[in-house]
Every structure is written in C-alpha cells, then in structure tokens.
Amino acid sequence: MTAPGLDPDGCIAREGALDRVPPAFAPVVADARARVAALFGPERLHSAYLYGSIPRGTATPGVSDLDLLLALRRPPTAADRADAAALEAGLDAAHPAIDGAGILLSDLDTLLGELERHDLGWFVACLCTPLLGEDLAARLPRYRPTSLLARETNGDLGLLLPRWRERLASARTEAELRTLARAVGRRTVRTGLTLVMPRWGGWTSDLELSAEVFGRYYPGRAGQLRLAAGLGRRPSADRAALTLLIEDLGPWLAAEYRAVHGEKAPRPAGP
C-alpha cells in the first residue's frame, strides 16, 4: 500500500492542483493571475505558483490566506519587493474570501541551484501549483521522505527562535500577535512532522494530521504540537500559547531535530 502523500513509486506527490481550488476562491485565483502578469510582466517574471490550502482544496472562506511564489528571472530587488507588497495589499482588500495574501519572491538560479535542491526546489516541485509560465518542477528531481529532505527543509528552527522572541516582545496589537501565531504555529508543526517523516514514511501538509503523526512518536509533546496546529489554522492573540511554543517546545524541537537529522547547510547572508 502506498504511504500517505506518496505516488506509487514512493516519491512525494504534488499536493495541489488548479481544479481543486474551492469555488469561493476561484475569483481570487483568477484575479491574482491577472494582477501578477500585468504587474511583473515577462521581462521580470519567469513563472508563478499557488501553494497552501487554496490549491489543496481545503481553504475556508474568510479564514484562509492566499499564498503565492513568484520565480523571477533575476534576484529580487527592493522594487520587486515593493511591488509584491502592493500586490498583497490589493488582493487582500479586493477579496473578503481571504484573510490576507502573502507573496514569496525568488529567482531561477536560486530555485534550481544545488544549495536549495532539497528546500526551495522541493517546495516548488511538491508543494506549489503552477499558475503562470513554465513549471520548474520539470527541471527538478523527484523527492522521497528522507532524512536529507527533512534536514534541508526544516533543520533551521533554532535560527528562527530568537526572531520570534523579538517579535513577541515587540508586538503591541492583536493583529501583530495573530500574524506571529500563524507563522509560529505552521512552522512548528511542519518541523514536528518532518522530524518524524522518514520514520513514518509519508507526507502531509494538513496541520491536524501532522500533529497526530508527530504524537505517535513523541506522545509527551503531542499536546503542544496540537496547540501549534490550532494556532496555525486559526491564529489568536494568546501570548501565553506563543510563549509556550517559543520558549518550551521550540528549543526542545530544535535540539531533537539536530540530534536526529543534523545541521541544515548554511545559506549566504541576505542583502
């Protein structure tokens, strides 16, 4: 029997498709496609992708956000980031069905490069749904749920913890806390799932299922990962919950990850 999330060859199956987009989100996706094409144009944009709950078909109107990845022909500039931020705001304002829009920017050399082969490359090939342009998945390998993949996708949680502490300490509004809760919850659950992924032998992006699978191997931490899944799905401004994840579960998870899978290959410092 094929394990969850895998194709018959034992490779991670691409999880989204345009024909899985729920009807409530079809206008959002169509508008996003048109706006991206018009704003970035073929001189800047190589291809664009959807990811997250909308192309998986599990999005909830008014709760789920719209996630996009833009693959540019050259490294993103400050002007590209400003355009992406304006596009995010425009889509969010125009469509009540989404609770915000997020756009990741990268470039061809990075996405296809050796350093990102088992991180951003895997992300494009397995978690992203083509929206515009050539699909880069055709130029990437197929992926199995190995320790190498686990290390390169989520082996840097320890680097995120200081940033999360700073954001929690500086947050003054409920909106800031909810934004942080969504990020902390989702990334913590993804790290917990990939920690046990090679032992489980499957793949899922479902937060609740990820927490359940993790709990089979670490029952003493299962409740904390369920809490993270809840914050990732329906973020709240609960400082106590965020503190528990950042100060207790996070450091333990980072240490256990290093012990099981080793250190993620270092990346060059950003601009």
- Helices 147-154 and 250-261: angle between axes, nearest 10 degrees: 140
The tokens describing 209, both together, are 């299922």
Residue pLDDT, tens place only, 11-66: 999 999 999 999 999 999 999 999 999 999 999 999 999 999 999 999 999 989 99
CATH of domain 18-139: 3.30.460
Residue pLDDT, tens place only, 126-178: 999 999 999 999 999 999 999 999 999 999 999 999 999 999 999 999 999 99
**What local confidence, expressed as pLDDT, does residue 2 receive?**
61
β pairing state of 66-72 and 101-107 = parallel
**What local confidence, expressed as pLDDT, does residue 3 receive?**
78
**What is the pTM (predicted TM-score) of this model?**
0.92
Residue 215 CA to residue 193 CA, distance in Å, equals 9
Task: Provide, rounded to the nearest whole percent, the portion of the chain with pLDDT above 90.
Answer: 94
Q: Does pLDDT of 269 surpass 70?
A: no
Q: Does pLDDT of 226 surpass 50?
A: yes
Residue 203 Ramachandran class (φ > 0 left, ψ -120 to 50 alpha, else beta): beta
Which is nearest to 76 in space by CA: 66, 89, 65, 85? 85
